[in-house]
Amino acid sequence: MIGKTIGNLRIVSELGRGGMGIVYLAEHKTLNKKFAVKSLSPALTEDPRFRERFYQEARNQAVLDHPNIVQATDFFEDNQEFFFVMEYVSGQDLGKIIGTKGCLPEEEALSIFKGVLEGLDFAHNKGIIHRDVKPPNIIIDTSGRPRIMDFGIAVMFGSQRLTSTGTTVGSPWYMSPEQITRPQDIDHCSDVYSAGILLYEMLTGDVPFDGKSEFSVKEQQVNAPRPDPRTKNPEIPVQLSKIILKAIEKDPTRRFQGCAEFLDYIKEYEAGKVQPPEPSRKWLMVSLAAIAIVGAGVALYTIFFQPPRYDTGERLRQARKAAALLMAVGSKEAAILCRQFVEIDVIRDNLEIAGTVGERELEEKYKNQIRDKVLNIRDGLSKYNDTIEKLAAIEESVVDAQLGHYLKSLKSLEKRSLSADEVAERVRIGRIVRRHTRKIADSGGNVDKAGMRRACMTR
């Protein structure tokens, strides 16, 4: 490709490679100007899904005319190859800067970060969620200005996703919990979370959640407590630490409700006026109301439904508490495993396409991805079996009662925040957990890979 001319552009050198193709440096023949040209991998041009996703990236970036976003200039086909032309930005990506410097000085980090928030807020106002905010996707130009790039997996609010149902896309170290657990139903608050992790990494030189496999990282994103960035860099001021922790709340309703609000807090912090970010009054009132309702429900349950001989039974109370917790943990672990099985099938399909067209480099990439998924499934099954064994040790009637409560709670969510399909899927996962618990309680053993796959893929 080097030295070839496509349209008015002469390819000079290769700038980088990604999941969908290669980015080249090109020079315009008559304008004497440099551009970045992204080509769709030949192995993927035969697949209409990848062609449409590539075109969608160009369309998304074309409407984002903002100084903190890399500009799209053209999209065309040449000899059955597809090309996406962008302005060429001379600089270094943020990932390499962090890799070289470690944690950045606060003033430098916040200067970069404010530009990132401004760019993301502009995209959100245009209805576009990036979904892959991370240091390598932010280039710092020679003037020090951050430029967001790679909208390859971005989506419009409410648009049809171009990934298979249940497939997660993005980088696990920067994914929001909802991007992992319900990837088809996320909004701009997911980018707020990823931006929070970005700021965490700029100020500490490390991400808050890491592990030996993608599964481990995703599980931490969903379940692990948020680590205070001051444990890795004690020089971070308390107020700034609180701002970061608010941005990476597990519950999206407790985060900043947009990058503009996030930016306001950063600016107020710099001006010395920021107050500790607390839950909004609305959230507080909802929480108090919920506590009151739950308290009343527990009282009525105790009076009218709880078997008399266990009225003051500490053992039973502890068993119920343990069963509820293990049911929730097991359901999350099962859901993540089921998504891994779906994703590995998608990758195998892509591997078959790459093999058909003789794209050896892409074949190797997909084989590596499959190996990673296999390791993720192995690690995930080990954790899942530990949870199921603990659940199987609890009295069966207690587990059944907690499953009933869990399924009822899902039905109530259908009216408030989840779609009918999402509720149906969570109910299905809950029943898988209960079925495996009974099996281990009755006959011992554990859930193997084949058995888990059957359970996940049976609808």
What is the rounded distance in angstroms from the CA atom of residue 192 to the CA atom of residue 259? 6
CB of 131 closer than 8 Å to CB of 78: no
Exposed / middle / buried, residue 239 (Cβ in 10 Å: 0-12, 13-18, 19+): middle
Which entry of 132, 150, 191, 379 is annotated as an active-site residue? Answer: 132
CB of 198 closer than 8 Å to CB of 119: no
Strand partners, 25: 13, 36
- Is 132 catalytic? The answer is yes
Q: Please work out, in degrees rounded to the nearest 5, the angle formed at the alpha carbon of residue 446 by the alpha carbons of 444 and 450.
A: 135
What is the rounded distance in angstroms from the CA atom of residue 263 to the CA atom of residue 38? 31
Q: Is the dihedral of CA 332, 337, 341, 343 positive or negative?
A: positive
DSSP character string of 187-224: -THHHHHHHHHHHHHHHHSS-S---SSHHHHHHHHHHS
For the chain, how many residues are written? 459
What is the rounded distance in angstroms from the CA atom of residue 57 to the CA atom of residue 43? 18
What is the rounded distance in angstroms from the CA atom of residue 175 to the CA atom of residue 191? 8
DSSP character string of 364-388: HHHHHHHHHHHHHHHHHHHHHHHHH
Write the CB contacts of 74 (distance below 8 Å, at least 6 apart in sequence): 83, 84, 85
- Residues recognised as catalytic: 132
